């Protein structure tokens, strides 16, 4: 870990049963359900986060868990605005597409296949403020598939990155 990078940690977790950004951004987001920011999430291999809006949805299997680095967010923004599931610090998640990210917050390792970038949408200018959509381009986090069942908690995290071998799917 470079000396100028903070110690890796999971800063926030979001498991929301509803889509808040539907329709036109000018109409504003749907109300947030109570309790969508949580201290821990349960993940199921190939399905996603228990209780989240994308859990078990075939169309979202390759993107059922989203991870974003706090370093990418504008000041004052959090998971409620960007609608990602896992907010980390000290982990360059945007650089990990094609690898397997292994996170262990004390309950055993959780393996996430990092499939593709999580590109921001125009809602960011409404939810965070003007210019946020542009500021988050190429820094919007990553879309992942959980490869193992497990639990992630807010707090320090042990991190490993597994690169795919020849002929292996990332």
Residues of the chain falling short of pLDDT 70:
1-3, 123, 165-170
- Supply the pLDDT for residue 100: 98
DSSP 40-103: EEEEETTTEETTSTTTT-GGGGGGSEEEEEGGGSPTT--HHHH--SEEEES--GGG-TTSEEEE
DSSP state of 134: H
pLDDT tens digits, residue range 76-101? 888 777 777 999 999 999 999 999 99
Domain ranges within the chain, ordered by starting residue: 9-15+38-157
- Supply the pLDDT for residue 28: 75
pTM for the predicted model, two decimal places: 0.88
Other Cβ atoms closer than 10 A to 5: 12
- SS3 state at 151: strand
- Supply the pLDDT for residue 88: 98
Please give the CATH topology (third level) of the domain spanning 9-15+38-157: M1 Pyruvate Kinase; Domain 3 (2.40.33)
């Amino acid at each position: 870990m470079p000396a100028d990078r903070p110690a890796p940690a999971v800063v926030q977790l979001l498991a929301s049963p509803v889509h808040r950004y539907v329709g036109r951004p000018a109409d504003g987001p749907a109300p947030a359900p109570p309790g969508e920011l949580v201290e821990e999430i349960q993940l199921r291999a190939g399905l996603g986060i228990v209780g989240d809006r994308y859990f078990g949805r075939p169309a979202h299997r390759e993107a059922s868990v989203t991870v974003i680095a706090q370093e990418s967010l504008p000041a004052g923004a959090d998971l409620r605005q960007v609608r990602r599931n896992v907010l980390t610090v000290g982990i360059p998640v945007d650089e990990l597409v094609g690898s397997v990210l292994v996170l262990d917050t004390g309950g055993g390792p959780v393996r996430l296949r990092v499939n593709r970038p999580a590109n921001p949408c125009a809602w960011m200018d409404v939810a965070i403020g003007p210019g946020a959509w542009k500021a988050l381009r190429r820094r919007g986090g990553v879309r992942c598939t959980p490869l193992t069942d497990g639990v992630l908690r807010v707090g320090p995290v042990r991190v490993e990155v597994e690169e795919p071998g020849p002929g292996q799917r990332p």
